[in-house]
Every structure is written in C-alpha cells, then in structure tokens.
Amino acid sequence: MDKVSEQAEDEFCREIELLARLHHRHLVALRGFCIGKRERFLMYEYMENGSLKDHLHTPGRTPLSWQTRIQIAVDVANALEYLHFYCNPPLCHRDIKSSNILLDENFAAKVADFGLAHASKDGSICFEPVNTDIRGTPGYMDPEYVITQELTEKSDVYSYGVLLLELVTARRAIQENKNLVEWSQEFLTSESRLPELVDPSIGDSFNFDQLQTVVTIVRWCTQREAVEGEESEGTEGRGRTSKGKMHRGEMIFHSGDGRCLASSSSTSRSYCSRSFLLETGSPQSPPGIPSI
C-alpha cells in the first residue's frame, strides 16, 4: 500500500485475522505478512496459474476447456458453502469475482481476498440482514444489497451467478457499458439460443446438458422478481429464512427478491450442490422447482 488509510488498515488486519483461522482446500492459504513502516504485504501460497480473470480476459491465452470451467464453478461453490455454513463464525465474502479466484498448478480454484468479508451478526448460520456501507465490485454486486444496504449471504450468491456467466461467456461483468446479467437475458430465456452464450473460443466443445444446468443456477442466483412456489412435500427439515419464505420438505428457500436455490438438509438457498452442478439432466428453470 502506498498510503495506509484507516480503511485499508482495517481490511488488511481483517484479512490476516480471517485467513489465520480459515482452512479449506478452496480458500487460498495465508503463509505470512509484513507490517513495516508504511509497507503492508500479505503472502499467500503460490498459485501457479494466476487468476481466473487472467485466463478469461487476457488476449492470446489458451482458452480454458469447458470441463475446467465447470470444475472451477464447483470449486467456488464448495468455498462459498464453507464460508456460509461451516466456518465459525460464518462469513459473507462480499467480493466474489474472477480476479479473486486463483488457480493452482492443476487449475483447482481457490477464493482469495477477504478484505471485505463480513461475519454473521451473532456467529450463527442465520444471516440476519445487517446495514453496511455498500462495498464490492460493480457488475458483481447484488442489486437488492445496493438498494437496501442490507447485507446477507445472498450478496455472495448473486455474485456467484455473475461469475458463472463469466465462466460460460468469457465476457466481463461490465462490457461495452452493459451489465453481463442484463446482456445475457435474451439468451437465457430461449433454449435454442443458449449455445450463443458460450465463449466462441471453445467452439462446440461443451456439454449442452451441463450448460442448461449452469444457466438454471444462474437464473436462481440472479432472479429479482418474487417467486411464489407451492409448498413442497417430503420429509420435514429445519432451515432458515432471510427476509423471505422457507418451505419445508425439499428445503426450497425463497428469498426476499425471489432468488432461490435447492438445498441439502445442512444448508440453505445459497448452497450450490456439487452433484447437481455436474448433473447431465435438464432441470426446470424458476419458478419451477427442480427435480433432483
């Protein structure tokens, strides 16, 4: 840091504190740090293949294969599941984007940069909306968070949806003055046009069933209109809500702005099932409830 502002100092210390106790195979590991005079350095484990942003947006780079992109999506979902449900206290990352996804020698993805991370209010897995300063990166930020200034784990879920679109299209979150989510709508609403979303550099070498699944998850993560679903049937489970509705049984969570994700018994709407992401079926898009 050239100038150590109070805000930068807070972010630096927060990241050291968090990374010193966060341990997951898809979170970048902190090896050390430096605080000397006005110098502030964080030293991470070496990530041989740099950032996802480098691979998607640097001209001349060999394009990532479709399967590598799918695996990166699964890796990031694993990291978010851990942050939201299994670390103590649970965390919202608040800045999920391609430049904060680092790739090791095997292209395994790890989430980095916890300077904006925010812990749940009382240390429980119930993220009650909390008013915060608007922080994040344009194009990845949840519109509901921007409008209400109320932070929940849904902010990360929206950003994850944008990241999925970025993986599929290799377009930036904001490109040609157009938001990626808005740009994609004409393709997302037509199954016949879904292949047009795919990064032209990989041609036809993608799995259409997986593309349908990824697109369905993108819709769930970024949908803004309220969704009213029917009470699902099945074994009752226990879960949580965040300004929204919870249905028992299949644990379908309906958020205040209508974004929803199917969940396992141990997680909520922000859970992005690894097995589901790799399913080769053709799930129904919202507002229909998927059959898994």
Cα-based distances in Å from 166 to 140, 175, 235 = 10, 11, 36
Active-site entry in 75, 95, 142, 156: 95
Pairwise CA distance, residues 247 & 267, whole Å: 13
Query: What total of structural domains would you count in the chain?
Result: 1
Mean pLDDT for all residues in the chain: 76
CA distances in angstroms from 79 to 73, 110, 117, 154, listed in the order given: 10, 8, 13, 15
CB of 149 closer than 8 Å to CB of 157: no
Query: Is the predicted pLDDT of residue 261 greater than 50, yes or no?
Result: no
E-assigned strands of 190-262? 245-247, 252-254, 260-262
- Please count the other Cβ atoms lying within 10 Å of the Cβ belonging to residue 129: 17
231-256 pLDDT, tens digit each? 333 333 333 333 333 232 222 222 22
Does some domain include residue 160?
yes
pLDDT digits (tens, 9 = 90+) for 99-128: 999 999 999 999 998 878 887 665 554 555
* Terminal alpha carbon distance of the chain: 48
Task: Please check whether residue 286 lies inside any domain of the structure.
Answer: no
pLDDT one-digit tens code per residue, 153-206 = 888 999 999 999 999 999 999 999 999 999 999 999 899 999 999 999 999 999
Q: Is 290 inside a domain boundary? A: no
Angstrom CA distances, 125 to 129, 257, 268, 291, stand at 12, 20, 10, 26
- Between 90 and 78, name the one with better pLDDT: 78
Residue 95 annotated in active site: yes
Distance, CA of 176 to chain centre: 23
User: Which residue would you say has higher pLDDT here, 95 or 252?
Assistant: 95
- 56-70, 138-152, 228-242: least confidently modelled range: 228-242
User: Domain for residue 58, yes or no?
Assistant: yes
- CATH (domain of 143): 1.10.510.10
Instruction: Enter the pTM of the model.
Output: 0.75
70, 181, 210, 249, 250 from 275: Cα distances, Å: 12, 25, 11, 19, 16
For 32, the domain range is: 6-277
The pLDDT of residue 284 is 38
At residue 146, the 3 state secondary structure works out as: helix
Please give the structure tokens belonging to residue 30. Answer: 């902190």
Ranked by mean pLDDT, the top range of 144-148, 151-155, 210-214 is 210-214
Does residue 176 fall inside a structural domain? yes
Query: Residue 244 domain-assigned?
Result: yes
Q: How far apart are CA 149 and CA 187, in angstroms?
A: 30
289 inside domain: no
CA angle 60, 55, 87 (to 5 degrees): 175
Whether 284 is in a domain gets the answer no
